[in-house]
Amino acid sequence: MSKGKSKAHGGITSRWGGFFFVLPSIIAVAIFVYGMIAWTLNISLSNKNSSAVHNPKFVGIANFTGLIHDERFTHAFGNLIKFTVVFIAGTLISGFIMALLLEKGIKGEGVFRSVYLYPMAISFIAMGTVWNWLMNSTHGEGAAGINLILAKLHLSFLQSDWYVSPKSSMYAMALPAIWQMSGYVLALFLAGFRGIPDDLREAARVDGASEAKIYRYVLFPQLSPTFLTVLIILGHISMKVFDLIIGISGKTYITDVLAVYMWQVTFDFTNYAKGAAIAMVILLMVAIVVIPYLRYVNKSEEYN
């Protein structure tokens, strides 16, 4: 990149001109993102276990080893894993099916698309009340919400305790999350499908491939970058799930996840060191998912 020379889409390289205009943001991000992460790490390595501790001391990884023996933490962690698996699988499958149904174009596509995506615009604090009703656990007489719909469809055997039973609680919690994010996955896959050049399909057709084979051997392999993107997006959202749980079931043990437990430890018990340690665990899990992705995006941009 030679100085001041323009490339097709590479912008213009100047030495320092632009730097000063971005500098305030660089400073803000350095302090508020990276500096504060470092400070959280610092707290997590200290003994600031209550607001009464005024001169916290360095205690090494004691708070982290403490978490391993903390039943609430391991419970919340296990819950989060269960939730993540069901949420990712469910959202991926339903979003992909929606995209398959729409990708060839159909009358009214715009309406379907808009409706499928609206859940992204509403907060879970507001939708929590609704899902709380829909996942009402009453069976048989007096059933409400989804259990009532199942009864009316003569599918009573499918009625569930939803999130009040420890067996199904996290799977039930994944349902509203799938409801919210499917449209987003649909949009990503739709963009993926429509980014595939038509010639590829045509060539396969001329070669006499059946429609099913065209999907399996021509189109699906082209979607693997989209598939990766979807996995990363859903994965990091799942690690942070918070509003959804608070909105539907509140701070209950049965649906506890790391973000909710962190809030409770920090806010209600004012155990800042432990709260910071939980936060670092969430950050670490997000980083494992996101950093390789950022590198991948960075690399593929160079070829643009």
Partner 1 sequence: MSSDIVDRITAHVPSHGGSNKKLTGVAQFWLVFRYISLFIILAMIILPIYVLVINSFKGPTVYLPDALNLPKHWTLSTWPEAWAALGVPMMRTLFFVVQSSIISAIIGSINGYVLAKWRFRGSKMVFTLFLFGMFIPYQAIMIPLVQFNRAVGLTGSIYVLVLAHVVYGIPICTLIFRNYYAAIPDEIIEAGRVDGASMVRIYRSIMLPLSIPGFVVVLIWQFTSAWNDFLFAIFLTGGSPSLAVATTALNFITGGMQINYGVNMTASFMASIPTLLVYMFLGRYFLRGLLSGSLKG
93 contacts partner 1 (rule: CB under 8 A): no
Residue number with CB closer to partner 1 (105 or 221): 105
CB of residue 82 to partner 1, shortest distance in Å: 19
H runs (alpha helix) in 103-168: 109-117, 124-134, 145-152
Least distance from C-beta 173 to partner 1, angstroms?
A: 14
Number of residues interacting with partner 1: please give it, by CB under 8 A: 116
Subset of residues 140 to 159 that bind partner 1, contact rule: CB under 8 A: 142-145, 148-149
> Which residue, chain included where needed, has tokens 């569930």?
160
Among 77, 83, 96, 131, binds partner 1 (CB under 8 A): 131
CA gap 270, 276 in Å, rounded: 11
* Least distance CB 74 / partner 1 (angstroms): 18
Tell me whether residue 194 or residue 217 sits nearer to partner 1 (CB atom): 194
Concatenating the DSSP letter of every residue in 169-216 gives HHHHHHHHHHHHHHHHHHHHHHHHHHTS-HHHHHHHHHTT--HHHIII
CB 215, CB 103: distance < 8 Å: no
The distance of Cα 255 from the centroid of its chain, to the nearest Å, equals 17
**Binder of partner 1 out of 93, 115, 155, 203 (CB under 8 A):** 115
Which listed residue (53, 85, 97, 254) binds partner 1 by CB under 8 A?
97
Decide: is 283 part of the binding site for partner 1 (CB under 8 A): yes
Using CB under 8 A as the binding rule, the residues of this chain from 9 to 48 that contact partner 1 are: 9-19, 21-22, 24-26, 28-29, 32-37, 39-40, 43
- Sign, CA dihedral 126-131-134-139, equals negative
Given a contact cutoff of 8 angstroms between Cβ atoms, the answer to whether 190 and 99 are in contact is yes
Subset of residues 184 to 223 that bind partner 1, contact rule: CB under 8 A = 184, 187-188, 190-191, 194-195
SS3 of residue 16 by DSSP: coil
CB 184 within 8 A of CB 97: no
Burial class for 286, CB neighbours closer than 10 Å (0-12, 13-18, 19+): middle
Q: What are φ and ψ of residue 6, in 5° steps?
A: -95, 145
Instruction: Report the site for partner 1 in 217-256 (rule: CB under 8 A).
Output: 225, 229, 233, 236, 239-240, 242-243, 246-247, 250
Least distance from partner 1 to the Cβ atom of residue 88, Å: 15
Single residue of 72, 78, 93, 118 touching partner 1 by CB under 8 A: 118
Between 166 and 295, CB nearer to partner 1? 295
**Does position 85 bind partner 1 by CB under 8 A?**
no
Per CB under 8 A, 62 contacts partner 1? no
